[in-house]
Amino acid sequence: MRGGAAPQATRCFAGWVLDAVPIRLEVLLVTVGLADGDEARRCLRHRQQAVDRGSTSARTATGGRRDHARVLHLPTTLLRNRQEPLGPCDVAGGTGWCSVASFAGDPVPGGTNFHEGDPMQRLTGLDATFLYMETPTSPMHVSALWVLDPSTSPTPFNFDKLRHLYADRLHLAPPFRRRLVEVPFDLNHPIWIEDPDFDLDWHIRHIAVPKPGTMVELCDLAAHLVAMPLDRSRPLWEVWLIDGLEDGHVGLLSKVHHAAIDGASGEELMVAILDLSPQIEDKSEEGEPWQPDRVPSDTEMVGHALASLAQTPLRAIKTVRRTTEAALRIRSENRQPDVVPPPSLFSAPHTSFNATLTAHRSLGTATLSLPDVKMVKNALGVKVNDVILALCAGSLRRYLDSRGEHPDGPLVAMVPISVRTDDQKGAMGNQVASALTTLATDVDDPVERLVAIHEGMNQAKVQQDAIGADTLQNWVEFAAPAVFNRAVRVYSRMKMADRHRPLFNVTISNVPGPPFPLYVGGARLVAAYPIGPIFDGGGLNMTVMSYMDSLDFGLNACPDLLPDIDMIADGLHLSLEELKKAAGKA
């Protein structure tokens, strides 16, 4: 844009960041193409004159007291309300961009916002990281494969009924109608808006397996669907109703992008369509009807991004200080004579499934008895999560032995830990930390292996407490979107995961579920298999969810790296039998 061709609001939008951004704004404006050099300098002179005039008039009107909102000290106001929507407003005779909510109820001449009084919701750095990690071979959505029994439904359970159920409950889960809007030039993380082009029929699909379909056919079809990435131009979710299963059952595969949910918020998302009985509860929307957002302009998003970035140096200083303090605490703890530190990144041994992925996926499932797992837990004085890790460790050890693979050390698991507080319940997005723990696969005896895993997890949690729940989230806030995403894609294309030791060997996640039966449109939920994403260097994800008296394991792998995922699923049963025998002797 040059001269009069650029709207005045666009040419002068950056006036309010003059005080906040410690760089030459005329250079920035020219760099991003919003103004030439003369326009940029003229814009800044006009802004400074406007602020000077506004300061004088405000002191007169308030008896010498500076009214920051009316004087439009926009850097301070906007930084304090950095997630509030931006709208056009008159700045002492000129047009600038200011925070709609910063005027303490004053109307904004000609102003518009995304929802009246609601903030422009930018993704957190952690949420956005799952977008940046996505490549053509590594879609980063979280899935769930449910098996339903329609015989409990008072009325026929079919696709139309499922669609009607979702239509009535869209308001219960924000991700259903939210889509991404990316910031120009990737200056900052994307934002969520209520999709003005939302179309429910795009998100609910119908498919079938040849009758009578077994779990093998269901998993094969689900693996193909899981391998397909979500469309970022629409809300990041989809559901597939799968007919044709044996015993009259149906399958339901849901996919939601990890940028929108973690395990805990995924459970809350499930509640939106689940009932406690076959009778469908009326959860229709009350109050004000849903209103879509308008798509914010590039100028608004750039201005909002710059205001947020202006705070980066201060946040970085605080984060470095806290991280340094945590590192000193961890070093002191790890130097204790009776402490065995948890594994570090890149300390895991190489295996055949720790390599560059292809776009193919294979799924495996296993259902284990929760009372049996609790019996082992009680007999050996450990926790349920320790037993789950030991089951995975035993199965992986057996699988590698069958292939003649002998890693040069024990396998290392990454275990997500929810740090969601009571105040954050009901909020979407990710509130997780992660811990690295040994799976002690170099230990022959299953009980000794379980005890080693228990001790390792205890130490990992101590270290995680020392690091702090929000350290990871603070650091990823500083990730440059354009650089991060391109780096991940280059890493994938060059197959860098084949050239170094893995960060860790496997992701193992445990999501607690309800101990009572649930229903979808009257159909009873028989089993719920969670499916986590995989990525280059980490070609296996093992996620488990408790439901009633069962533990439902969902295994996701790349078949070109791990050709027999059913062997690992079957190995979970064998590992539990080993531990049950050992617990009976304890």
Contacts 24+ apart (CB under 8 A), 160-163: 161/521, 162/204, 162/239, 162/241, 162/252, 162/520, 162/521, 163/200, 163/201, 163/204
DSSP string for residues in 100-164 = GGGGTT---TT---SSTTPPPEEPPHHHHHHHHT-BTTB--EEEEEEEEEGGG-SS---HHHHHH
Give the number of residues written for the chain. Answer: 586
**Tokens linked to 225:** 């669907």
**Residue 119 and residue 122: Cα distance in Å, rounded?**
9
Which of 290, 289, 292, 296 shows the shortest CA–CA distance to 112? 296
DSSP-H helix ranges across 62-107: 68-71, 74-80
CB 20 within 8 A of CB 310: yes
**Residue 142 and residue 262: Cα distance in Å, rounded?**
8
List of residues 6+ apart from 258 with CB closer than 8 A = 130, 140, 141, 142, 430, 533
**Residue 277 and residue 516: Cα distance in Å, rounded?**
10
CB 139 within 8 A of CB 255: no
**Active site residue: 46, 249, 258, 304, which one?**
258
- Supply φ then ψ for residue 356, to 5 degrees: -70, 135
**Residue 80 and residue 83: Cα distance in Å, rounded?**
9
**Residue 426 and residue 381: Cα distance in Å, rounded?**
34
Q: Give the single-character DSSP code of 348.
A: S
CA 458 from centroid of its chain's CA atoms: 25
**Residue 314 and residue 317: Cα distance in Å, rounded?**
5
CB 326 within 8 A of CB 471: yes
Paired sense of beta strands 506-511 and 250-257, if any: unpaired
Which of 215, 206, 268 shows the shortest CA–CA distance to 238? 206
List of residues 6+ apart from 400 with CB closer than 8 A = 351, 406, 407, 441
- Supply φ then ψ for residue 79, to 5 degrees: -70, -35
Which of 139, 92, 360 shows the shortest CA–CA distance to 236? 139
Catalytic residue at 258? yes
SS3 310: coil
Paired sense of beta strands 250-257 and 362-369, if any: unpaired
**Residue 493 and residue 472: Cα distance in Å, rounded?**
26
Report, as residue numbers or ranges, the catalytic residues: 258
